[in-house]
Amino acid sequence: MENQDKKELVPFVILARYYNTTLTNKFLNRKKWENPIFGEMKAHLPGTIIEIFIKEGQKVKKGELLLIHEAMKMQNRVRAPFDGVVKSINVTPGEKIKKGYLMLALEPADDVDK
């Protein structure tokens, strides 16, 4: 028999039954989940910023078009998820961005008048 590395057993429970298992390297090396920050809009896919329709400090209403992000030959329209004020814009038209890149940040606002 070959000498196998001893891995630590991890306990878990399913339907009130206790089990022990080993965790794979893929699981141990995965990117850890982060709690999203309210108002930050990050890219879900790598791509290119096509057009920006807002400016910093501008008030926006829920559903208003903020920018167009092209990913995988599709133009995705990024819209405001809530009424707010544009806190920062971190992209420019033509810029190529990676997955998870912070495109812009919004602050909630109660009284958005247009």
On whether the CB atoms of residues 53 and 67 are closer than 8 A, the answer is yes
3-class DSSP assignment, residue 10 = strand
pLDDT value, residue 3: 47
Instruction: Give the integer Cα–Cα distance in Å for 88 and 107.
Output: 9
State residue 1's pLDDT score.
Answer: 40
Q: Which residues of the chain have pLDDT under 50?
A: 1-3
Q: Judge contact between 87 and 102, C-beta under 8 A.
A: no
- For residue 4, what are its two tokens? 């196998």
Q: What are the residues whose beta carbons fall under 8 Å from the beta carbon of 73, sequence distance 6 or more?
A: none
What is the pLDDT at residue 80? 96
CA 32 to chain centre: 13
